Amino acid sequence: MLVNGEQHDTIAIMDRGFQYGDGLFETIEVRANQPIFLEQHLKRLNADSKRLYLPQIDVDLLHSEIHQLCQNVGNAVLKIIITRGSGGRGYRQPDVIQPTRILSLYPFPDYPKSYYFDGIVARICKTRLGLNPDLAGIKHLNRLEQVMARAEWNDAAIQEGIMLDFNGRVIEGTMTNLFYVKNCQVFTASLNLCGIAGVLRGWILEQIPVMEHDFFIHDLSAADEIFVCNSVIGIWGIRELNGQIYSANKITQNLQLMLESEKQKQVTYAS
């Protein structure tokens, strides 16, 4: 792990990331030493920094540290955390913000291949997402809602939980964004009141026509296909949700192939 460029595995207790969750993070797939969608992740980090009144990221410095960290890692997960650093008085931020920058590598998770090829089993969570337009979309460090939702089940046969917002709209999975397909049209939640605007979600929106709108559980019941995505798992179809079986997977499979091709391109281009 690198903390502001130095090897540490601890952080100051006074750091506002710890005291208040006052910061941001990115979770990035590293494949054959190459961070996938790195530009998109850094772009989002900068956009989210702006929304939280954090200083703009030194992208060159981050690039150099990421290169240093990933050069011999093969396949892994890279996590970047940026906090508002220490200082200030209570919630009040310091006059001069000196962010803390943490890069850490984790083994790539060993998910069974069937999740990718056959789809996963999902459930609907009781824990709801709160509504807050000021923080909606941001990948910030206040993630208790996700922790509470993920604590609802302990059944290894269920891989993801779907979260609704306070008004009953379907928003996303605990660790993924969610899409559904009905009559060859693809839909996903608009994230103006809650949710995390994932990098892979953004990439999918650029590849195919997707309608961002408000939808509910009954829309999922009537869906032809449902899939979830994030930067580590890629795209997984849902084969069972609340006991209902989804057998179509044509658009999901097409997107999986497009994504695989994009990743291969990034790995090849870099090497």
Q: How far apart are the first and last CA of the chain?
A: 24
Site string for a second copy, 175-194 (x = CB under 8 A): x------------------x
Contact stretch for a second copy (CB under 8 A) within 1-9, 59-67, 180-188, 260-268: 1-9
| 143 touches a second copy (CB under 8 A) | yes
Contact 31, 190 (CB under 8 A): no
Task: Please select the residue that binds a second copy; options are 145, 214, 219, 224, rule is CB under 8 A.
Answer: 145
Nearer to a second copy, 1 or 258 (CB): 1
State yes or no: residue 134 binds a second copy (CB under 8 A): yes
Cα torsion 82, 28, 206, 124: sign: negative
Angle between helices 199-207 and 250-270 (to 10 degrees): 110
Provide the 3-class DSSP secondary structure of residue 15: coil
Strands (E), 139-207: 160-164, 170-173, 177-182, 185-189
d(CA 15, CA 24): 13
Among 151, 208, 248, 257, binds a second copy (CB under 8 A): 151
Name the minimum Å distance from CB 177 to a second copy: 15
Residues in the chain: 271
Distance CA 256, CA 269 (A): 20
Query: Of residues 198-257, which lie at the interface with a second copy (CB under 8 A)?
Result: none
As measured in angstroms, the least distance from the Cβ of 263 to a second copy is 21
Q: Which stretch binds a second copy (CB under 8 A): 86-94, 178-186, 216-224, 251-259?
A: 86-94
Distance CA 20, CA 65 (A): 26
Q: Find, among 116, 105, 117, 101, the residue nearest to 31 by Cα.
A: 105
166 is a contact residue toward a second copy (CB under 8 A): yes
* Binding piece for a second copy, criterion CB under 8 A, among 16-24, 207-215, 220-228, 236-244: 16-24
Separation between Cα atoms, residue 52 and residue 21, nearest integer Å:
12
Does 155 contact a second copy by CB under 8 A? Answer: no
Q: Please tell me the distance from the alpha carbon of residue 142 to that of residue 42, in angstroms, as a whole number.
A: 20
22 binds a second copy (CB under 8 A): yes
What string marks each residue from 52 to 81 as x (binds a second copy by CB under 8 A) or -?
A: xx---------------------------x
Contacting positions for a second copy (CB under 8 A): 1, 3, 8-22, 25, 52-53, 81, 84, 89-93, 102, 104, 109, 127-135, 140-151, 166, 174-175, 194
